[in-house]
Amino acid sequence: MNEKTPVKKRQGFSLVELMVALALSLLVMGFLARLFISQKKNYDDQAVISEMQENVKTGMLMMTTELTSAGYNPAGAAGAGIIQADATVLRVTMDLNGDKDVLDLNPDEDVTFAYNSANKELTRATSGGTGQALAGNIQSMAFAYFDGSGNALTTLPLSSGNRALVRRIKVTITATTAKDASKTRTLSSDVRPRNLGL
């Protein structure tokens, strides 16, 4: 007894069914690959934006902390205060070591913050030296100056008389990512140097 199963009753996939299953599998795989690539791009973009934000926040924090001490003068040093005030340059002095001068060997007693538009950097220079980058990929930076009544001092650079009136400095920095200049973040901070006008 040799029974053979008829061809019509055999279980299995036809070539058409196999091709349909393969096509559906390829569609699902393509969708998953596209989803993965999209998620990876979003992750990479967010990492770059986070780096940009950290960069500008760090530069702003360092600058505003130091500007708060502008004019520190416990021993009555001559020349402590704002030395130069322009839209993109601010030079301040302070007597940090209490030796009655701001022109000694302590380089942190004479600090200049500036925007280097050629290199797109926020720089910090001490004692009139070369500026070192505090933050890169800076699209713009601006200082605005206000007197004790909140009036803007708009004639820049400020004269020595107007520099003596400054009680508040507004710092605005716009940063961009290194790869895509269309992604920007603007950060503003009001600094009230507590030693000016004392």
* Predicted pLDDT at 62: 93
Residue-wise DSSP of 129-142: ---EEEESSEEEEE
Query: Has residue 8 got a pLDDT over 70?
Result: no
- Mean pLDDT score, 63-73: 90
pLDDT digits (tens, 9 = 90+) for 113-136: 999 999 999 999 998 788 899 999
Residue 138 sits in which domain range?
46-191
- How large is the average pLDDT for residues 34-60? 91
| pLDDT value for 166 | 95
CB 126 within 8 A of CB 134: no
Contact, 96 vs 106, CB < 8 A? yes
Give tens-digit pLDDT for 128-176. Answer: 788 899 999 999 999 999 999 999 999 999 999 999 999 999 999 999 9
- Give the pTM: 0.78
| 143 part of a folded domain | yes
- Mean pLDDT for 185-189 is 93
Stretch 93-104: mean pLDDT, rounded?
79
Residue 41 falls within a domain, yes or no? no
CB atoms inside a 10 Å sphere around CB 25: 10
67 within 8 A of 134, measured Cβ to Cβ: no
Indicate the DSSP class of residue 166: -
Q: Decide if 70 is inside a domain.
A: yes
* Greatest C-alpha distance within the chain: 120
Dist CA 55 CA 42 (whole Å): 20
Per the structure, the count of domains in the chain is 1
Please list, in sequence order, all residues whose beta carbon lies within 8 angstroms of the beta carbon of residue 130, skipping any fewer than 6 positions away: none
| CB hemisphere CA count around 170 (13 angstroms) | 13
Question: What average pLDDT score do residues 64-88 get?
Answer: 87
